[in-house]
Amino acid sequence: MKIRSVNSFILDIPTIRPHQLAMHTITKQAIVLVCIQNEEGQEGWAEVATIGGASYGEGTPEAIKVNIDTYITPHLIGKNANDYAKIMTDLNKVVRGNYFAKSVVESALIDLAAKEKQLPAYELLGGKIHSSLPLAWTLASGDTAKDIAEAERFLEEKRHRIFKLKIGKGDPYKNVNHVLEIIRSVGDRARVTVDINQAWDETTADYCIAALQEGGVSMVEQPLPTWNLEGMARLTEKYAVPIMADEAANSIHDVFQITKLRAGNSIALKPCKHGGLLETKKVAAIAEGAGFGLYGGTMIESTLGTAVCASVYSTIGEFTFGTELFGPLLFKDRITVDNLRFENFELIIPDGPGFGMEIDKDKVEFYQR
């Protein structure tokens, strides 16, 4: 069945509390939705999220939408969604970069192709290995006592036992002490990681990682700017605690260079930054071949985007550091009729046709810009 139309939408959805990163604090999250419809009226839907406009990366929601509408859509009309791999291969020859835009388009193609076959999307991605994925949560109040209380509550509720702290903003040394207090309180029952979001220079990282390693932190994510692969390699060689590449690990070529230089020893996967689900599988294979650990990252997607990520993550062998697909738990509302299930510290993989999510078009209209 041929593709008849491609439509994109920018939505802004409020969060239950501010979510602080080094470069931005999220109080409402911008997402881009794509709907691809075939000649019989069947629809494939997908989502990609961005953080802080242009403060996180070059893929702003406005740029994603205009590039989909102007440069990508003409290459989709009249094609068959079932040919998603060929469509994306051909598209990569005529549209450079634009990984976020390509990712959401490819996901919508796969959702439509899977629905046409009445199959879960993961069946088109190699088949499901995991029925659920371990789920991290970010402690982000900035208040040590509140963060400890929140961690204790989620442990009691069996919601999370992996906790990440964003410590790239503010005084690095005070932030390290904040982390160490939390480890002393819950570290015997949970894994505690930190994410610096590129905010440290190498001197600061050297001092702080030493203290974090001694204190029992289980992973340090992207301590240095993306360009400083040599610095990342020096930190990786010096410390036993795993060093994770996130913002630096985008295309398969980036990830190859990171593994070659040992600029870290683990990789955060995110379909949007790799350019799609098929590319995510390639990135995971490169990392696995190099002996790097994997982490299932998030860009704070809502229920639909989280289901997209969960579907591809379910087909990848091992996540040494778990996943952080907590986005839906941070939103005040959802844009799907279906909700995701979180049980016993894990996210349950949806099994319905496509990504297992039915879009709520009234909510799309309500939150659309």
CB-based burial label for 194 (10 Å; 0-12, 13-18, 19+) = buried
Q: Can you tell me the distance from the alpha carbon of 71 to that of 264, in angstroms, rounded to the nearest whole number?
A: 35
Beta-ladder partners of 132 = 348
Strands (E), the chain: 3-20, 25-38, 43-49, 132-134, 136-139, 162-166, 191-195, 219-221, 243-245, 266-269, 293-296, 342-343, 346-348
Q: Among candidates 53, 73, 55, which has minimal Cα distance to 63?
A: 53
Give me the phi and psi of 12, to 5 degrees please.
Answer: -125, 115
Amino acid residing at 310: A
Strands (E), 2-150: 3-20, 25-38, 43-49, 132-134, 136-139
Q: Can you tell me the distance from the alpha carbon of 201 to that of 3, in angstroms, rounded to the nearest whole number?
A: 49
Residues 340, 348: contact at Cβ < 8 Å?
A: yes
**What are the tokens at 178?**
């904040």
Q: Can you tell me the distance from the alpha carbon of 113 to that of 240, in angstroms, rounded to the nearest whole number?
A: 44
Q: Which of 65, 115, 164, 166 is catalytic?
A: 166
102 as an active site residue: the answer is: no
Q: Can you tell me the distance from the alpha carbon of 323 to that of 245, in angstroms, rounded to the nearest whole number?
A: 15
**Catalytic residue annotation:** 166
